[in-house]
Amino acid sequence: MSGGRGFNVLHVAEKPSVAKSVATILSRSQGLRTREGRSRYNKIFEFSYAINGRPCHMLVTSVTGHLMELEFQDRYRKWHSCDPADLFQAPVHKFVPEDKLDIKRTLEEEARRCQWLVLWLDCDREGENIAFEVVEVCTAVNPHLTIKRARFSALIDREIHEAVQRLVEPNKCFADAVDARQEIDLRIGASFTRFQTMLLRDAFVIDFGTDNLVLSYGPCQFPTLGFVVERYWEIQAHEPEEFWTINCSHKSDEGIATFNWMRGHLFDYTCAVIIYEMCVQEPIATVTTVRQQEKLKYPPYPLNTIELEKRASRYFRMSSEHTMKVAEDLYQAGFISYPRTETDSFSERTDLHAIVQEQQRHPVWGSYAQRLLEPGAELWRNPGNGGHDDKAHPPIHPTKFSSGEAGWSQDHHRLYELVVRHFLACVSQPAVGAETNVEIDIAGELFSASGRAILAKNYLDVYRFESWGTSTIPTYVPGQQFIPTSLTLDSGVTRPPPLLSEADLLSCMDKEGIGTDATMHDHIKKLLDRFYATKDSNTRFSPTNLGEALVMGYDDMGYKLWKPYLRAVMERDMKAVSEGTKSKAEVLAASLQQMKACFLDARLNKVKLFEAMEVFFERSNRSGGDEQHASGEVVRPCGVCQESNMVLRRNRDGNFMVGCLGYPQCRNAVWLPGSLSEAVVTANICNTCTPGPVYLIQFKFRQLEIPPNYNANYLGCIGGCDETLRQLIEICGTGSRIPARGRGSSASSSNVQQSNSRLGEARHSACIYCHQTGHSSSDCPSQISGSRSARHRGMNPQSGEPSVPCNTCGTPCILRTANTANNRGRKFYSCQSQDCSFFVWEDNLNNVTGGSVQRARTSVSASNTSRSGGRGRGGRGGAHAATATFVSATGDPVTGRRCFVCGDPSHFANVCPNRGSS
């Protein structure tokens, strides 16, 4: 209490315009003062008032929609920060974004000096959620606040004054339902969006004129796309089929009657011809039945949001998004009631006559409003009940008279007219007509004709958007006979259904429970924004190639993620939360568990997405590194940062590596042999390496770039226990052997060597020459301190040519001549055995200082019995492969550095001039 003014009450509205309207109405524009808040757009209005007879000082301000956002913690926000599957359980938090901090400061400052907080947010679930965001901010600085909620449906004097005198408690269940939806949509949307964007965007040429195309997935957005694609497929699958029907007409002095064949039509031409010939041979028509009855055409139910969007689309070709924008403008200006409502029935306490009275002054429909209120006209009828009531707002209806405002666009005029005419129609009597049905018999075949006369138009007088046609037919009596004026056998073809219009799409979404009245138009707009669908001038939707490919891919997987069933269940669960029959935690756990299982299955079957995309798009030559990342091919937990996973991926040069998702904070990486052409993570787990699980990788090497005693297909472990993989890294090196275009060939060689030396040394692996630990194979003392003497040469006893004995198998190696560009004419010795890879230059044998023939005992183990799972294609190689010797052109030992096609150490096999002829 302060200054005798009573207690201070802070009122918070959802928008600045609503705050101004509430303050203006409550103060009656007397003693109203305005001052600036921290935010230039959210002003503060002050005045004196009395709530239930208690004097108080009112402070009215506003937010601008949601005050808080739900987001993952910083560690998970970057697309490459984690496996997308982790997002189903990654920590999330609500926070006030930077652009709303000034609004937050205003609320904190005003709340400190107030005793009450009254919430004027929109009276739906979303508004209730925003209300609790405001409560959280205000009670953080003043925990003693009394919290109240104002419930209103229109910004008019009667509603606002009544609301402030009948304050209620805010509904936590409504807020919890929105919290559940936000978290479900965030987790599902982020995981699937990252997965399919990183998997497909760079793998295909998808040109929509945007640089950073996002292939988004939304739990409501995708089923909405599914409706569009399903109808499109139905049209594409339609095969026109010819049919035949018999048409009959009769002309008399009173007019012409057209009789329709009661069989409809036949697809069998022969049967149709036989029946037609029977009718032609006995053409006398006998009237069998004449029925006359009164028919009623009922007015529409009171207007809810979905019907408003559907009718605006049908009558004016306005998009649902634009319709809601215009309706919001009319609501905030006080001309119509709250436009987001599911209710299509008025409560008994609604003063419907008062609403009609306001419209009597209108120059167009004012006379009809007057007739409605005249007791003698008998035009009034209490509106029908559509069966829906959201317990928050009445149906949409006019709240203030207008014959047109200066700032209104044509669409504002149209929508206001629709709301008024719809309201006047729903409180009117139905149209009355007299309908006559006549049936005739021709040679045993029945035909029928009907006519209608309008007796009273009633609601159709004001509701110009609907019509009820009049058609007259001559008078017939039972037993009357006549010969038809015409009797023809006509053909036609079946036609496919039309593309879905926006009204059709809204009906599908409403029927299946996809989205809410407040969000459906957003989901439709998202389809257009993401280039998943297009809308023509008739407001009909067609899927784009991208939209169709995504639905096709998921459909081929066998998982109906594009069908409405899963989301419909979630919507029902969230409604249960709002009603208090289920808890938020219960719904979150069930929904996320189900969708995570779908996500993991989709990831395992990602090849179906590739196959579907290949139907519509060309493959790109961009790096597929994000494919590996997006597919979530986790190899092992990172042992360095112990927070993220390590995944198989490719760098920009196309080379395979296993890197930590925590990059750049964690730079742990394992570079794989440069001779790899393919690598796929399997489900097999190494039982030796820790921390686990460590998944085995199926490698495919380029055969010409590895020694002949190694298999091109190999199942290996990067955890450190795999001796064969370590040897291949020693022999083949890491990274591409051809420098990337525009890059230096040795730009990162030191980093690569350092990374891979850690892989070997950290595991205390043995040297491939002496089988001792403590040094790498390239620094083996046995190779440096070997014999410096020239090797003894002899003669091949069979050919008489110079030879040297093979170090490995002892077979005489004959002298040969190189025929490559760099070494043409140079002599060398090589073993003739296919199982041996011995090679040495002749001049190196003559070099006393460096001519010793080096040996590399590259024994390849047949298997690693400590690992579980299959061996993959090609297995792990022979039990004890033959040793291989490698020397450089200078005679110095260089492990794994020679061409395996021609034996020339000056180049590698992938650039060998003899490669094509080998």
CA distance to 428, 454, 463, per residue, from 460 (Å): 9, 11, 5
Identify whether the C-beta of residue 462 lies closer than 8 Å to the C-beta of residue 424.
Answer: yes
How many other C-beta atoms can be found within 10 angstroms of the C-beta atom of residue 115? 18
Q: Where are the alpha helices (DSSP H) in 814-858?
A: 842-846
CA separation for the pair 151, 142 (Å, rounded)? 24
Cβ within 8 Å of residue 567, ≥6 positions away = 219, 220, 223, 512, 513, 514
What element of type H or E holds 498?
none
Q: How far apart are CA 911 and CA 918, in angstroms?
A: 13
Is the separation of the CB atoms in 678 and 844 below 8 Å? no
In 461-519, which residue ranges form alpha helices assigned H by DSSP? 502-512
Provide the 10 A C-beta neighbour count for residue 230. 17
Q: Are 417 and 409 in contact (CB under 8 A)?
A: no
- What phi, psi does 477 have (nearest 5°)? -125, 150
Q: What is the DSSP letter of 50?
A: E
CA distances from 53 to 103, 115, 487 (A): 31, 17, 83
Q: Which two tokens stand for residue 421?
A: 């005419």
Report which residue type is found at 138: C
Whole-number Å distance between alpha carbons of 498 and 541: 10
| Length in residues, the chain | 918
720, 759 contact by CB (below 8 A): yes
C-alpha span between 74 and 515 (Å, rounded): 29
Q: Judge contact between 315 and 418, C-beta under 8 A.
A: yes
Residue of 4, 3, 58, 61 whose CA lies nearest to 26:
58
Cα 239 from Cα 379, distance rounded (Å): 50
Q: To which H or E segment does residue 493 belong?
A: strand 486-493
How far is the C-alpha of 153 from the C-alpha of 146, rounded, in Å? Answer: 23
**C-alpha separations of 421 from 371, 429, 454, 577, 889 in Å:** 14, 14, 21, 37, 95
Find, among 502, 726, 482, 562, the residue nearest to 233 by Cα: 562
Strand, coil or helix: what is 376? helix
Copy the structure tokens of residue 538. Answer: 């008739």
* Token pair for 222: 């995708």
Q: Please report which helix (H) or strand (E) contains residue 714, including its range.
A: strand 713-716
Sign of dihedral through CA atoms 297, 301, 307, 313?
Answer: positive
- Using CB atoms within 10 A of its CB, is residue 144 exposed (0-12), middle (13-18) or buried (19+)? exposed
Catalytic residue among 76, 338, 459, 829: 338
Calpha distance 529→591 (Å, rounded): 27
Q: Is 391 exposed, middle or buried (0-12, 13-18, 19+ CB in 10 A)?
A: exposed
> Is 710 marked active-site?
no
Cis amide linkage into residue 16, ω under 30° from 0: no
Q: Which residues are catalytic?
A: 338
